[in-house]
Amino acid sequence: MKKKSNRIWWILGGLVVLIVGGLVAAKQAGLIGKPEATEVDFATVKRTDITERVSASGRVQPQVEVKISPDVSGEIIGLYVNEGDPVKAGQLLCRIRPDNYESLLARARATVNQSRAQLEQTKAAVAQSSARLIRAKADYERQQKLYADKVISSADLETSAANYNVAKQEVEAANANVRASSFNIKSAEASLRDATENLRKTTIYSPVNGTVSKLNIELGERVVGTSQMAGTEIMRIANLQNMEVRINVNENDIVRVNLNDTADIEVDSYTMTGRKFKGVVYEIANTANGLTSSAGAAASLSADAVTEFEVKVKILNSSYADLLAQKDKKGYPFKPGMTASVEILTDRKSNILAVPIAAVTTRSADSTAIDTATMKDNQNGTVNEVPAGQTQKKEKTKEIVFVNAGGKAIQRNVTTGISDFENIEILSGLKEGEQIISGPFIAVSKKLKNDDLVIKRDPKKDKKKEDKEE
């Protein structure tokens, strides 16, 4: 019984030795304990053409659109155009009731005539006062001779001298009245011109050639007009043959947009047909949208503000000449206010070294000290206090690409240039023909580290996994 028990122990001990020896041999051979490889996608560094684009959306508008507002107020008694009608410069558009302005004109004319009559009266008064002055002068001279001969008293001479001085003052007053009457005539004539102009403004003509793109009034409506500010907008006249797209471009992209850059324009109304139009940038705003004052500029610095600049892109007529030829049947192809998407071609390079844009990511490069009193834990959302005077390290970032070196991911610093929706230019750090890791995104951007093992991802396996999850 004792021998049988010893034999069992010897067998168990032998099995333990065999298992331990097998594990040691398997580990040395690399069969167990090997780090798990990350499944990734590979791509090759190659030469290609890249066209850099800036995308934005906006609305189609006429390049020239005139807003018609009256200079006088009143009731619309004549409306001679409809929305969509073509008009020529000088064509009659509408009329405002002129009755009041005709009365004002008649009153102004009467005032001018009255002022002219007053001028004639003052001229007659000048002639009369001049005659009295001559008589007073002659009388004064006679009185002087008589006084010298001691025929009259000094009182009589003084009376004659006073009459002479009064006559001279009357002539000066009469001449002043003539000048005043002349000024009154000029004032009355100015009022007459004003009344004539106001009466003329009751009839409104088209200032330009174009199409009535918007009509805001009906026959019989009352409109408000002033000469100092814009009154009621009665209609708009636009040149629908020359259209543009007004887009808002983010401040990060506006520095890449230049005058005369070409653009591809997709108007939503023609999306079903797959039609795209050509355009060219002809105007770039120098001031951001909404920054009309220092208060507006201060408001734009808030955390939620988005700074954008307006860019005007002219739609080239040659890109829709066939649609213009059909305008007599269907009208002009573009209507003001249509939604459009624009891709501005800001740069183009041919035969340059490039990789898929998903292959480039950023990682920390070095650390710098920044004085702070608090530090926020980004993972748990709590705020950890840092003693005042101590520092928190703020990491700079650098652009990197992972190169496949015999199944290992090797981190490589790169310098990039322009990019499109698929590829990005490599200025330095890679050579043509090298194999790089281009995906998946989470692996390239966060998971992969230098010297990690990698293997090619099996798309079929991922497909089966997705189907199973569904």
Domain spans of the chain? 39-49+355-469, 67-97+202-238, 99-196, 241-347
Contact 196, 218 (CB under 8 A): no
Give the position of tokens 């004003």.
Answer: 194
Contact 281, 244 (CB under 8 A): no
CATH architecture under which domain 39-49+355-469 falls: Beta Barrel (2.40)
Whole-number mean pLDDT of the chain? 82
Give mean pLDDT, residues 423-434: 89
Contact 48, 330 (CB under 8 A): no
Q: In the structure encoding, which two tokens stand for residue 308, read together?
A: 């954008």
Cα–Cα distances (Å) from 252 to 24, 133, 233, in that order, read: 59, 88, 37
Question: Sorting pLDDT into bands at 50, 70 and 90, what band is 385?
Answer: very low
Of all helices (H) and strands (E), which one includes residue 106?
helix 99-148
- DSSP secondary structure string for all residues of 63-78: SSEEEE--SS-EEEEE
Residue 426 pLDDT greater than 60, yes or no: yes
Q: Confirm or reject CATH 2.40.50.100 for domain 67-97+202-238, answering yes or no.
A: yes
Asked whether the domain spanning 67-97+202-238 has the same topology as the one spanning 39-49+355-469, the reply is no
Q: Confirm or reject CATH 2.40.30.170 for domain 241-347, answering yes or no.
A: yes
Q: Give the Cα separation of 233 and 237 in Å (integer).
A: 11
Give mean pLDDT, residues 43-69: 91
Q: What is the pLDDT of residues 11-34, one digit of tens each?
A: 666 676 677 666 666 555 554 555
Q: What is the pLDDT of residues 268-307, one digit of tens each?
A: 999 888 899 999 999 999 998 876 544 444 444 444 568 8
Domain 99-196: CATH class, spelled out: mainly alpha
Cα–Cα distances (Å) from 316 to 213, 331, 339, 377, 380, in that order, read: 20, 18, 17, 54, 55
Q: Give the Cα separation of 177 and 127 in Å (integer).
A: 12
Q: What is the pLDDT of residues 303-314, one digit of tens each?
A: 456 889 999 999
Asked, as a colleague might, if the bond just before 440 is cis with ω within 30 of 0, I would say yes
Give the position of tokens 């324009």.
Answer: 265
Among 237, 241, 240, 239, smallest CA distance to 214 is for: 237
Question: Sorting pLDDT into bands at 50, 70 and 90, what band is 37?
Answer: confident
Cα–Cα distances (Å) from 465 to 458, 459, 460, in that order, read: 11, 10, 9
